[in-house]
Amino acid sequence: MRYITIALAKGRLAKQTMGILARIGITCEEMEDKESRKLIFTNEEKGYRFFLAKANDVPTYVEYGAADIGIVGKDTIVEEGRKLYEVLDLNLGKCRMCVAGSASAREALESGRMIRVATKYPVIAKDYFYNKKHQTVEIIKLNGSIELAPIVGLADVIVDIVETGLTLKENGLEVLEEIMPLSARMVVNRVSMKMEQERIGALIEDMRSVIEAEKN
């Protein structure tokens, strides 16, 4: 049997996804070993192979077929813009992509003036301001702790993920506009979807029932 390879975005999302898979009988004990430096894990019995990757790299592995399936946030899927099928919402890691800033930045944002936008998501920010709002802005790419940018005067506003809103609040910032809701998704390679239609289709349906059951 050919392995079905699943790329998981490292971290909490990977653990929660393995939790869903365990409930449909797909387990991977090897992966629990925290001391291990192994990057790839197999479940021989069911014919699955798993690896953990940086979230941004998951769509790349899937587009090229190095993984048949990927589990990653919608934010990363949109930002990377790879050619893949998005097949399932895992209802995990729910949050929102927002424009945020200090209350006083609202006026600058609404004036249509040239403003500076700091973000880890330049593609999403550009699409939102240029194509949806028809507003010309300067986008500054950062790699983390985006909330710092408006505080130290690097940017007027930020485009970032808001989950509880605590990070914004503790830094005197607020949500100014909502761009899109986010959650973890399953993506599938376009060729794998045809070649392994039966196994992947069954996996999607089994996972869907667990996700639906968790909702209720």
In three-state secondary structure terms, 192 is helix
Summary count for the chain: helices (H), strands (E) = 9, 11
- Residues 178 and 46: beta-carbon distance below 8 Å: no
Task: Enter the DSSP assignment of 3.
Answer: P
Provide CB contacts within 8 A for 105, sequence distance 6+.
Answer: 115, 150, 156, 157, 176
Compare residues 145 and 209 and give the one whose CB is closer to ligand PRP.
145
Compare residues 174 and 206 and give the one whose CB is closer to ligand PRP.
174
Q: Which amino acid is at 68?
A: D
Q: How far is the CB of 187 from ligand PRP (least distance, A)?
A: 20
Q: How far is the CB of 112 from ligand PRP (least distance, A)?
A: 26
The 3-state DSSP composition of the chain as helix, strand, coil percent (nearest 5) reads 40, 30, 30
Compare residues 17 and 192 and give the one whose CB is closer to ligand PRP.
17
Q: How far is the CB of 95 from ligand PRP (least distance, A)?
A: 7
Compare residues 155 and 188 and give the one whose CB is closer to ligand PRP.
155
Distance CA 149, CA 143 (A): 11
Compare residues 99 and 207 and give the one whose CB is closer to ligand PRP.
99
* Contacts with ligand PRP, residue ranges (CB under 6 A): 120, 144-147, 160-167
Q: How far is the CB of 33 from ligand PRP (least distance, A)?
A: 25
Q: How far is the CB of 160 from ligand PRP (least distance, A)?
A: 5
